[in-house]
Amino acid sequence: MSFSGFIDSLDNCLLVNLLEKRCQPFFHVCMICQWQAWFNQKLLDYRMNRSLKGALLSGLVFPGLGQLVLGVKKRGWLLILAVVFCLGVIVVSATQKALAILEILAEEGKPLNIESISEAAVNASTTSGSNIFNVFFLVLVLCWLFSIVDAYRIGARQDQK
């Protein structure tokens, strides 16, 4: 077969694939077509388990999202609300701490540079206000981990059915 014959065969093979979505035995000479047919079959054969999908959604996107996708809506919304509440408390606590640091620096008349801010932050982190931050951060991490494990268990039960 000449080079132009090979190109014509390749064009015909790709055209057949585009029109019919499958490889014709007549064009099996084309290696690209054979690879494409093999790859398409592997994609069709692969199905993501519901357990893996739920765990990935809860772990990588947002806690509780895996439960929502798997159909356990009450638990999913409860986890989402708990995580959003924890994040809100953490942000408010961090903002209050940052404002307190800025007030301390303003009272002492220190310049607002990296050294003075970091020194004041280290001194402020030893106060009791950081306990709230630590508790809600721990609750946030526990909710996230529970969401991953729970979504995996729910998906595994659904995969068995």
pLDDT exceeds 80 at position 31? no
pLDDT digits 0-9 by tens, 85-131: 999 999 998 888 888 888 888 888 888 788 887 787 777 766 556 78
More confident residue, 147 or 132: 147
pTM of the model: 0.64
Among 30, 45, 60, give the residue marking a domain's end: 45
Same domain, 9 and 59: no
The residue ranges of DSSP E strands in the chain, in sequence order, are none
- Residues of the domain holding 94: 50-160
Same domain, 54 and 40: no
Same domain, 100 and 31: no
How many domains is the chain partitioned into structurally? Answer: 2
pLDDT exceeds 90 at position 67? yes
Same domain, 58 and 123: yes
Among 11, 30, 45, give the residue marking a domain's end: 45
Same domain, 64 and 120: yes
Distance CA 12, CA 128 (A): 75
Same domain, 78 and 123: yes
Give residue 42's pLDDT band: very low, low, confident or very high (50, 70, 90). low
pLDDT exceeds 90 at position 75? yes
Average pLDDT over every residue of 144-152: 96
Distance CA 117, CA 103 (A): 11
